[in-house]
Structure 1
Amino acid sequence: MNRSANAALAKVRAMYGQMLTRTQYDDLIRRQSVQEISAYLREKTSYAAALSGVQDSAIHRGQLENLLHKDLFHQYIRLVRFLGPHHHMGFYVVMDMEINLILTCMRDLISGHPGTMVAEIPAFMSAYASFDLFALAQVRDFSQLLETVANTPYGTVLRQCAQADVRDGRVDYTAVEVALRTYYYTTLLGYCAKLHGESRRQVQELISLRAETSNLNTIFRLKTTFQAPPERIRKMLLPVRCRIGEKQLDRLVEARDAQTFMKMLCSISPYKRALSPEMNYIESGTEAIRCGLIRHKLHFSTDPQVVFLAFILLRQIEAENIIRVIEGVRYQLPPERIGSLLCH
């Protein structure tokens, strides 16, 4: 391995070493308010710089979440610049954020509150986005959304959805979400095809497992909350497979209820190590599977691209963990309950 690759690995692993520890998570879930969470992150963790100058007494949930996403994005940009153009998936985080913003815009339109997302626009990524983020915040109907993203691949996806499924003049949100997520994973896996050997296999595994666990979470949620029939569930799944084959997935979709689904899933390796049939919240288990794979790559891979992707995936999970803590404290959940929702 050459000197630049060694330097890249050392840089990423040094940043990995600054992530939250179990002890810090235990302290965090015992905070009593968003303001206390903000103060703890600034005073006791590596988020000190990200929260520098923040007035804890005035900060609210949305502001803190935006600062967390901003810190993640800036870490990503720093790594991209350090690793150089040939050692990163340069579009990964930007595309993730862009799709989430488009979906947020659509939810606001459907709820009858267009423009609500203006306070959530991440100005810090405007220079990297493929469309005008501030124009997105001004969208008042689906045609304006189409116009805003017209010159991007998202425009093509949305137009196809509009042509395929329009109900009462509105485009089906679920169809758009599945189509955008499918484009996202197809694009990432297309990038994988340009890699070679072990590098390709490891990057593909990291990406595919994220899609697979998302599918499992979707199946569980639809069976638990909506008692959805198999044909409806299939329309909401991503066409990406990892540890679970097509026939196994089909049997899971056909399971008569959530309990049967969980019993079947718990017989499949590696999910049986992290799940139990009695679980009421599947995401903590599926995320634990992902975390295990990600940490393994961070510790043992010698490929800068693999380690870079693993670190960014883990940082996304950390940001999601903190947001879950914020939500848990907001709804006055006991610390033990909040802790059970986190993935370490």
Structure 2
Amino acid sequence: MLKSFSDKAIMTKALSMYGKRITNEQYMELMHKKTVAEIAAYLRDTAGYSEALSGVQPTAIHRGQLEILLRKERFSRYLRLMHYDNAQRDSYYHYLIMEIEIEQILQMIQLLNSNRAEEYITQYPAFLERSTRVNLMELAKVRSYDGLLHVLGDTPYGKLLLQCRPLGGELIDYTKCEVVLMSYYYQHVEDIIDHSFHGKTRLHLHEIFQTHLELLNISNIYRLKKYFPETKPEQIAKCILPVWKRIPQKELDRLIAAPSAEEFLKDIAASPYAKFVGSDDFTYIEYTANCINYYMCRRYLRFATDAPTVFTAYMALCRIELNNITTIIEGVRYGVPPSEIKKMLIL
């Protein structure tokens, strides 16, 4: 009975918060703002961000601070939903914490490769310190790969990244680190879904994660063929994430073996993924992939009857909204015309 109440509360709260989402009309107004300060002031007056920005002076905030506050708001929504979760620490809903932890580790790896590790302290999400297994303050002090391994200690991430340790003065293989960490993440999520759920709930959750993974892999294969045509198929195979059940191995091998980006598009056009084709511009393919995720999650949010599916769809939609707002902030900051910004939004 308690679990039933918990599920109902999570569903009701998620739908209520979704009702405060940024509307298409509000996106249009945001795109026509002239400065980041104007965007901050506008968001402060919207239902979904009024609390997060209540103490902000728009004229004094810069882009980085605003984006951190927006990320904090997404996490605050997660915590509001978790208030109703009666499960143990290994609850399915903790997948979001793992996702955030891996994002922070990969961000530090990027900074290490560019000799800018000291910049992490200015952008790390301090509001997450009590929620993650990774000590973010200690992560901010990292200045080498060995230092990173030390901070990650006995976490699963430290053990996984041992296999990516660079030799001598080599750069860290970021792609290898990303594949190792994200493969662990998706496998872990799949295992939790299989262990915790059955019936439609299990089916729906697998569809959400596997569709996202499938679209990510297709986009990555095309990116490599388009911008790094010298990349060999065996190298591409090392850059994609496990596909699970959705893409047959023969189909995946055929796409990876395509001799060029143009041939890849032809192969896609003759496959169940023909929806990707319509332009030879990678931006179109990536944008289409994001749109597919958006409409799938919006459909599940409206029609699903179980809390895990509603939660997962809602948090994915929150991420898309955050990305849209960030895109607008960057566009306004660099003087991009509203008509061009609109083309990059997932609406």
Report the TM-score range of the alignment, normalised by the length of the smaller protein. Answer: over 0.9
2:278 match: secondary structure: coil
Quick one: structure 1 residues 292 and 267, their matched pair in 2 at CA, closer, same or farther if it must change by over 3 Å? farther
1:308 match: secondary structure: helix
Q: Which residue among 54, 57, 77 is the counterpart of 1:52? A: 54
The answer to whether 1:125 aligns with 2:97 is no
The answer to whether 1:209 aligns with 2:224 is no
Match of 2:9 in 1: 7
CA shift at 1:131, angstroms?
2.0
For 1:92-131, what aligned pairs fall within 5 Å after superposition?
92-131=95-134
Match of 2:68 in 1: 66
Whole-Å separation in 2 of the counterparts to 1:167 and 1:212: 35
Q: Which residue among 302, 306, 314 is the counterpart of 1:303? A: 306
Structure 1: runs of 5+ lacking an equivalent: none
**Matched residue type, 2:115:** G
Quick one: structure 1 residues 169 and 263, their matched pair in 2 at CA, closer, same or farther if it must change by over 3 Å? closer
CA shift at 1:267, angstroms?
4.2
Whole-Å separation in 2 of the counterparts to 1:167 and 1:30: 50
Quick one: structure 1 residues 21 and 167, their matched pair in 2 at CA, closer, same or farther if it must change by over 3 Å? farther
Q: Which residue among 334, 339, 344 is the counterpart of 2:337? A: 334
CA shift at 1:207, angstroms?
1.1
CA shift at 1:248, angstroms?
2.1
More displaced 10-residue stretch of structure 1: 29-38 or 201-210: 29-38
Whole-Å separation in 2 of the counterparts to 1:187 and 1:277: 35
The percentage of aligned residue pairs carrying the same residue is 38
CA shift at 1:175, angstroms?
0.8
Quick one: structure 1 residues 167 and 26, their matched pair in 2 at CA, closer, same or farther if it must change by over 3 Å? farther
Whole-Å separation in 2 of the counterparts to 1:68 and 1:230: 39
Whole-Å separation in 2 of the counterparts to 1:58 and 1:48: 17
Q: Is the 8 A contact 1:88 1:308 kept in 2?
A: no
Q: Which residue among 317, 323, 327 is the counterpart of 2:326? A: 323
More displaced 10-residue stretch of structure 1: 195-204 or 272-281: 272-281
The answer to whether 1:36 aligns with 2:45 is no
More displaced 10-residue stretch of structure 1: 275-284 or 64-73: 275-284
**Matched residue type, 2:94:** F
Match of 1:157 in 2: 160
2:254 match: secondary structure: helix
2:22 match: secondary structure: coil
Q: Is the 8 A contact 1:182 1:239 kept in 2?
A: yes
Match of 1:186 in 2: 187
Q: Is the 8 A contact 2:164 2:176 kept in 1?
A: yes
Whole-Å separation in 2 of the counterparts to 1:275 and 1:323: 27
Whole-Å separation in 2 of the counterparts to 1:299 and 1:88: 23
**Matched residue type, 2:326:** I
CA shift at 1:274, angstroms?
5.9
Match of 1:177 in 2: 178
Q: Which residue among 196, 200, 203 is the counterpart of 1:198? A: 200
Q: Is the 8 A contact 1:266 1:276 kept in 2?
A: no
2:42 match: secondary structure: helix
**Between Structure 1 and Structure 2, how many residues are aligned?**
341
CA shift at 1:243, angstroms?
4.4
Whole-Å separation in 1 of the counterparts to 2:270 and 2:29: 35
CA shift at 1:241, angstroms?
4.2
CA shift at 1:160, angstroms?
2.2
Runs of 4+ residues deviating >6 angstroms: none
* TM-score, length basis structure 1: 0.92
For 1:159-308, what aligned pairs fall within 5 Å after superposition?
159-162=162-165, 166=167, 168-194=169-195, 195-227=197-229, 228-241=231-244, 243-269=246-272, 271-273=273-275, 275-281=277-283, 282-308=285-311
Quick one: structure 1 residues 275 and 49, their matched pair in 2 at CA, closer, same or farther if it must change by over 3 Å? farther
More displaced 10-residue stretch of structure 1: 83-92 or 101-110: 83-92
Match of 1:343 in 2: 346
Cα deviation 1:108-157 (Å, max 9, x = unaligned): 11111221111111111100110210110010111110000012110111
CA shift at 1:88, angstroms?
5.7
CA shift at 1:266, angstroms?
4.0
Whole-Å separation in 1 of the counterparts to 2:33 and 2:246: 38
Q: Is the 8 A contact 2:9 2:84 kept in 1?
A: no
Whole-Å separation in 2 of the counterparts to 1:129 and 1:8: 22
Quick one: structure 1 residues 45 and 340, their matched pair in 2 at CA, closer, same or farther if it must change by over 3 Å? farther
CA RMSD of aligned residues (A): 2.1
